Amino acid sequence: MYFDIDSSINWVSVEPVSKGWSSDKKYFVKTMTGENLLLRLSDIEQYDAKKKEYEIITKYSNLGIKMSLPVAFGVCNEGKNVYMLLTWIEGNDLEEVLPDLPEKEQYRLGREAGIILQKIHSIPVDEKDIPENNKKAKKLMQLSRYEESQVRISGDETAIKYVKDNIDLLWKEKPVYLHGDFHPGNLIYMKDGSIGVIDFNRWEVGDPYEEFYKLESFGIENSIPYCIGQIDAYFNDEVPKEFWVTLAVYVAHASLYSIKWAEKFGQEEIAGMVKRCKMAFEDYDDFKRCIPKWYTDKFRKL
């Protein structure tokens, strides 16, 4: 399905990559000249969306951060697929490496990630890329779907109320280009000890504070020092109160709705999301507090 890509004549091997939630088919490509590339294939119906994604990746590539860089884009498989070729980032998944590193190094990597995120959010946004609607109505609709579901957990009322009472805090910041799925699972720990960024397929324009809620969902499971470092560095060690209050809305919403979202993946996935939800309730004291218990300043002193 990729043989009509012009450069494929120079490919030595093409191996499937199964990691990730994307609907794209992904392949690890080795070339005759020793380059390692990532090939992403999508249905031709996604041509416009993928073309835009490639344009956004090109914008990000000008920031000087280590990331999957754009190489080529086009149509293949006799017009049935759209393809994207990117450079391959060598290293290990950061989420797998973090728990085995000293806490000081975990915190340092978090700070590096925070600076990377700061750079991504600094790109001037094209007016045409700003969505007409913010996400407030969508998030309230998703919350209603959770409330009407059979997977509700006991004691969820305070979190539901927190979201509804504070929904207008969302999108108060100037919209920025988002990575869209920025957490250690989409970062690579490279051989030189630095971070490379991958998987930009969930990019969007939106509230910069939304980029952080997955620290609670996925980040703290791997490394609390990393999560603290990402927040500290992003805000140059002066985290505004507005950030915490707004982030708590995103966390409360995601903690509940992710349980409903997981229904289509089966009981094991639901159980995982319930566990994460209960952890968020503990960290935020049933959303009676807006700064999670795990956030401290002790790692700045290491």
Q: State pTM to two decimals.
A: 0.93
User: How far is CA 21 from each of CA 3, 25, 117, 184, 185, rounded to the nearest angstrom?
Assistant: 25, 10, 21, 15, 11
Q: How many CB atoms lie within 10 A of CB 20?
A: 14
Q: According to the model, what pLDDT value does residue 301 have?
A: 65
In this predicted structure, the answer to whether residue 19 has a pLDDT above a threshold of 90 is no
Q: Are residues 255 and 187 in the same domain?
A: yes
| Last-in-domain residue among 23, 56, 87 | 87
Confirm whether 262 is domain-assigned.
yes
pLDDT at site 133: 87
Q: Are residue 57 and residue 176 in the same domain, yes or no? A: no
pLDDT band at 20 (very low <50, low <70, confident <90, very high): low
User: How many percent of the chain have pLDDT more than 70?
Assistant: 98
| Position 300 confidence tier, pLDDT thresholds 50, 70, 90 | confident
Give me the DSSP letters along 25-50.
EEEEEEETTS-EEEEEEEEGGGHHHH
Structural domain total, the chain: 2
Q: Which of 6-10, 87-91, 159-163, 298-302 has the lowest mean pLDDT?
A: 298-302
With respect to residue 130, please indicate whether it lies within any of the assigned structural domains: yes
Helices (H), 153-211: 157-166
For position 18, what pLDDT does the model report?
83
Residues with Cβ < 8 Å from 112, sequence gap 6 or more?
194, 195, 229, 233
Tens digits of residue pLDDT in 50-80? 999 999 999 999 999 999 999 999 999 999 9
Indicate which CATH number applies to the domain containing 58: 3.30.200.20
Specify the residue for token string 């509804």: 164
Q: Per-residue pLDDT tens for 191-203?
A: 999 999 999 999 9
pLDDT in tens, 134-193: 999 999 999 999 999 989 999 999 999 999 999 999 999 999 999 999 999 999 999 999
Assigned domain for 1 exists: no
pLDDT of 210-261, one tens digit each?
Answer: 999 999 988 998 999 999 999 999 999 999 999 999 999 999 999 999 999 9
Q: Does residue 143 sit in helix, strand or coil? A: helix
* Domain boundaries, position 221: 92-301
The last residue of one of the domains, among 57, 87, 117, is 87
Contacts of 94 (CB under 8 A, 6+ apart): 109, 184, 185, 187, 188, 189, 195, 222
CA angle 17, 18, 19 (to 5 degrees): 100
